[in-house]
Amino acid sequence: MTDLELRGVSRWYGNVVAVNDVTMTLGPGVTGLLGPNGAGKTTLLHMMAGFLAPSRGAVTIDGAPTWRNPAIYRKLGLVNEREAVYGFLTGKEFVRASAKLHGLPDADAATRRAIALVEMADAQDRRMDTYSKGMRQRMRVAAALVHDPAVLLLDEPFNGMDPRQRMHMMELLHGLGAQGRTVLFSSHILEEVEQVSGTVQVIVAGRLAASGDYRTIRRLMTHRPHVFAIRSSDDRRLAVALMASPSVAGVTLGKDGLTVHAGDYGTFTRALPRIALDQGVRVRQLIPSDESLESVFSYLVSA
Amino acid sequence: MNMTIAWITARGLFGRRRFLLLLPMPIILIGITAVGLAANAPADELAEAVLYGLGVATILPLVSLIVGTGVLGSEIDDGTVVHILAKPIPRGRIILAKLAVAASVSAVATAVPMFVAAVMIDGVRLGLAFAAASVAGALAYSALFLALSVLTRRPVLVGLLYVVIWEGLLSNLVAGTRTVSVQHYVVRFATDLSGSAWFETTVSMAVAAVMTVVVTIAGTWLAARRLRSFSVAGETS
- Return the pLDDT at A49: 96
B85 and chain A in contact, CB less than 8 A = yes
CB atoms near residue A132 (< 10 Å): 13
- Return the pLDDT at A177: 93
Work out the angle at residue B89's Cα, subtended by the Cα atoms of residues B86 and B95, and round it to the nearest 5 degrees: 100
Nearest to A17 by CA among A55, A45, A48: A55
- Return the pLDDT at B236: 38
Question: Mean of the pLDDT values across residues B174-180?
Answer: 88
Q: What is the band of B235 on the pLDDT scale with cuts at 50, 70, 90? A: very low
Indicate the pairing of strand A29-34 with strand A199-204.
parallel
Nearest to B45 by CA among B200, B202, B198: B198
- Return the pLDDT at B175: 83
d(CA B59, CA B87): 36
Contacts of A82 in chain B (CB under 8 A): 79, 82
Contacts of A86 in chain B (CB under 8 A): 8, 11-12, 80, 83
B40 and chain A in contact, CB less than 8 A = no
Nearest to B178 by CA among B57, B190, B170: B170
Contacts of A154 in chain B (CB under 8 A): none
Quick check: B86 and A78 CB within 8 A? yes
Contacts of A61 in chain B (CB under 8 A): none
Looking at chain B, how many residues does it have? 237
State whether residue B235 is helix, strand or coil: coil
- Return the pLDDT at B237: 34
> B101 pLDDT exceeds 60?
yes
Of the candidates B4, B230, B237, which has its C-beta nearest A97's C-beta? Answer: B4
Quick check: B232 and A46 CB within 8 A? yes
Which of A86, A98, A108, A204 is the mutation pick for testing B, counting most B CBs within 10 A?
Answer: A86
DSSP state of A255: T
B45 and chain A in contact, CB less than 8 A = no
Give helix then strand counts, H and E, for chain A: 10, 14
B93 and chain A in contact, CB less than 8 A = no
d(CA A248, CA A260): 7
Distance from CA of A18 to the nearest CA of B (A): 7
Contacts of A101 in chain B (CB under 8 A): 2, 4-5, 84, 87, 89
Quick check: B83 and A85 CB within 8 A? yes
Least confident segment among A294-298, B107-111, B176-180: A294-298
d(CA A71, CA B86): 9
Nearest to A51 by CA among B85, B217, B25: B85
Q: pTM of this prediction? A: 0.85
As a whole number, the mean pLDDT across chain B is 93
Helix axes A133-145, A91-101, angle to 10 degrees: 20
Looking at chain A, how many residues does it have? 303
A/B interface, count of CB pairs below 8 Å: 93
DSSP state of B143: H
d(CA B33, CA B121): 7
Contacts of A74 in chain B (CB under 8 A): 88
A8 φ/ψ sector (left φ>0, alpha ψ -120 to 50, else beta)? left
d(CA A153, CA A172): 13
Q: What is the band of B97 on the pLDDT scale with cuts at 50, 70, 90? A: very high
Of the candidates B4, B15, B228, which has its C-beta nearest A101's C-beta? Answer: B4
B84 and chain A in contact, CB less than 8 A = yes
Q: Mean pLDDT, consecutive 10-residue segments, chain A of 303 residues?
A: 92 93 94 88 95 96 96 95 88 97 96 94 96 90 96 91 86 92 89 80 89 75 77 93 90 91 82 93 85 60 57
Work out the angle at residue A172's Cα, subtended by the Cα atoms of residues A169 and A175, and round it to the nearest 5 degrees: 150
Distance from CA of A140 to the nearest CA of B (A): 9
B17 and chain A in contact, CB less than 8 A = no
Q: What is the pLDDT of residues B52-94, one digit of tens each?
A: 999 999 999 999 999 999 999 989 988 899 999 999 999 999 9
DSSP string, A123-161: GTTSBGGGS-HHHHHHHHHHHHHTT--SEEEESSTTTT-
Quick check: B83 and A46 CB within 8 A? no
Torsion over CA of B47, B216, B151 and A47, rounded to 10 degrees?
Answer: 150
Of the candidates B4, B88, B232, which has its C-beta nearest A52's C-beta? Answer: B232
Q: Where do the H-state alpha helices sit in A233-302? A: 235-243, 265-279, 293-302
Distances (CA, A) of B2 to A27, B61, B90, B94, B125: 34, 26, 10, 7, 36
Quick check: A82 and B79 CB within 8 A? yes
ipTM confidence = 0.90
d(CA B16, CA B10): 10
Mapping DSSP onto H, E and C, the string for A31-68 reads EEEECCCCCCHHHHHHHHCCCCCCCEEEEEECCEECCC
User: Residue ranges of the domains in chain B?
Assistant: 3-12+40-227
Chain B 206-235, CB below 8 Å of chain A: which residues? 228-232, 234-235
Contacts of B11 in chain A (CB under 8 A): 86, 88-89
- Phi first, then psi: what are they for B100, rounded to 5°? -60, -45
Residue in A closest to B94 by C-alpha:
A101
Question: Mean of the pLDDT values across residues B27-40?
Answer: 95
Contacts of A104 in chain B (CB under 8 A): none
- Pairs from B208-213 (Cβ < 8 Å, separation ≥ 24): B208/B184, B209/B185, B211/B179, B211/B180, B211/B185, B212/B136, B212/B137, B212/B139, B212/B140, B212/B182, B212/B185
Contacts of A77 in chain B (CB under 8 A): 86
Quick check: A143 and B232 CB within 8 A? no
> B233 pLDDT exceeds 80?
no
- Return the pLDDT at A218: 67
Q: Which residues contact B179 (CB under 8 A, 6 or more apart)?
A: B203, B207, B211
Asked if residue A198 lies in contact with residue A213, where contact means CB atoms within 8 angstroms, the answer is yes
d(CA A15, CA A12): 7
Work out the angle at residue A260's Cα, subtended by the Cα atoms of residues A254 and A261, and round it to the nearest 5 degrees: 135
